[in-house]
Structure 1
């Protein structure tokens, strides 16, 4: 049942990621353009040039803020990564169940060994 739920979750995350691919790309381009505009703003010596770069930066920021839905796509990409990572780690787990008794005196040696392995 766990594999089925991971599959369904991965499928939903993949569909969300694919539907948000355009805004993700546009958000990345707008962040890159903001970086270029900032570098040009720093290089500019004239006041008129700096005002022009600030206006260009505000336009690019407004374009970037309109693609805020890209954050949902990035969250879906992270969720898809975690689902795939969890799917792969399930293959290596053994399905043996150990019986743990509640009596701490009977399990003292096992617990002490576990504590020593954590260090």
Structure 2
């Protein structure tokens, strides 16, 4: 039943991820260009150059905001990572105290020290 849930969650996340690849690429490109424009804005010495770069920066900021649904794609990619990570996860078994050789050794060592 656990594997079925993982397959279902992974399938839904994969569909969402595939449908939001376009906005993710657009967000990546617009944020990259916005960063480049910001660096050039800080280097610019003339007021006219700063105004032009500021206007271009606002345009790319709006382009970045319009690609906000890409965040859903990032969340879907993270869910796919969790599904992949938990696919072969083993359950932690409770080790009985008597079956654990180290606990048994510690008990016997303490008994020997007491004599």
What is the TM-score of this pair, normalised by structure 1?
0.76
Structure 2 residue runs of 5 or longer lacking an equivalent are: 104-115
**Structural RMSD (CA):** 2.5
The alpha-carbon distance between structure 1 residues 99 and 56, as it changes in their structure 2 partners (threshold 3 A), is same
Larger radius of gyration: 2
C-alpha displacement of 1:94? 6.1
Distance (whole Å) between structure 2 residues aligned to residue 85 and residue 15 of structure 1: 19
Distance (whole Å) between structure 2 residues aligned to residue 61 and residue 38 of structure 1: 11
User: Aligned residues, how many?
Assistant: 102
Alignment of structure 1 residues 28-47 onto 2, 5 Å: 28-47=28-47
- Spell out structure 1 runs of 4+ moving beyond 3 A: 97-100
Distance (whole Å) between structure 2 residues aligned to residue 57 and residue 83 of structure 1: 38
Structure 1 residue runs of 5 or longer lacking an equivalent are: 101-106, 114-119
C-alpha displacement of 1:30? 0.8
What is the TM-score of this pair, normalised by structure 2?
0.78
C-alpha displacement of 1:44? 1.0
